[in-house]
């Protein structure tokens, strides 16, 4: 652990960003969070991120002392540019380019740019994000190559070193559940199951072993499969 290091976690309220928050709190002396509203088709994840912060602080006192302020940035105008199944009520399918229609063009690049600007002002040179190129939906802005290029561009543009930590980049969803357990045991896993939200439809009426969700959207399939793989080991 680096007690002097300061990090900013991109916290969406989903399983991956919740795990990243725990990972950062176990590693850095001071951790702040940032979230974005970009015209999502529901606000369930934004509510979940508030619960995640509160529950982590309540259940992990050592981490609570390292958890700093949170900020939410309104990027609704940006989200309006994208005809995506995450910002419009439409069926989940692949588009003509072979990309899932849940892809919001450049979303991670925009988020990281906004986070870097906030981090520059707050003296938070490390950005932590839950992007992953192992178990992911085919988004090109989740690849290691993309993130490395973004870190270099931000460092040049701010004339100050920017590090982008991606602790989940090469993990499967099952391994992400395992990492959460390694970080905080059953208590953290139970917290993520109960309070995080991943379902694209925003469904909170159905409770599964792995958490809440519709059970049939791509995000639910991935989360459920990862849970099964982890429990099987």
Q: What is the pLDDT of residue 89?
A: 58
Model confidence at 97, pLDDT cuts 50, 70, 90, reads: low
Residue 2: in which H helix or E strand, if any?
strand 2-10
Both structure tokens of 81: 């540019």
65 versus 135: the higher-pLDDT residue is 65
What CATH class is the domain 2-176? alpha beta
Alpha carbons 21 and 59: distance in angstroms, whole number: 14
**Ramachandran quadrant class, 11 (left: phi over 0; alpha: psi -120 to 50; beta: rest):** beta
- Across the chain, mean pLDDT equals 90
* Domain limits, the chain: 2-176
Residue-wise pLDDT for 148-193, tens only, equals 999 999 999 999 999 999 999 999 999 999 999 999 999 999 999 9
Task: Map 83-95 to HEC letters.
Answer: CCCCCCCCCCCEC
What average pLDDT does the segment 69-76 reach?
Answer: 94
Residue-wise pLDDT for 190-206, tens only, equals 999 999 999 988 899 99
């Amino acid at each position: 652990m680096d007690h002097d290091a300061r990090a900013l976690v991109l916290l969406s309220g989903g399983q991956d960003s919740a795990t990243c928050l725990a990972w950062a709190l176990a590693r850095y002396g001071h951790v702040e969070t940032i979230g974005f509203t970009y015209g999502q088709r529901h606000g369930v994840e934004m509510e979940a991120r508030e619960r995640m912060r509160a529950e982590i602080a309540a259940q992990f006192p050592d981490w609570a002392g390292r958890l700093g302020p949170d900020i939410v940035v309104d990027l609704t105008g940006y989200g309006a540019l994208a005809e995506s199944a995450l910002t419009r009520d439409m069926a989940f399918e692949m588009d003509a380019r072979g990309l899932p229609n849940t892809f919001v063009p450049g979303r991670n690049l925009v988020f990281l740019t906004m986070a870097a600007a906030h981090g520059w002002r707050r003296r938070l040179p490390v950005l932590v994000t839950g992007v992953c190129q192992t178990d992911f939906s085919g988004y090109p802005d989740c690849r290691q190559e993309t993130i490395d290029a973004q870190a270099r561009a931000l460092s040049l543009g701010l004339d100050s070193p920017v590090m982008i930590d991606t602790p989940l980049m090469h993990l499967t969803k099952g391994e992400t559940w395992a990492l959460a357990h390694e970080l905080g045991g059953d208590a953290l896993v139970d917290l993520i199951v109960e309070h995080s939200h991943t379902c694209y439809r925003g469904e909170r009426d159905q409770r599964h072993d792995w958490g809440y969700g519709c059970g049939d959207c791509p995000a639910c399939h991935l989360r459920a499969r990862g849970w099964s793989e982890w429990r099987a080991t």
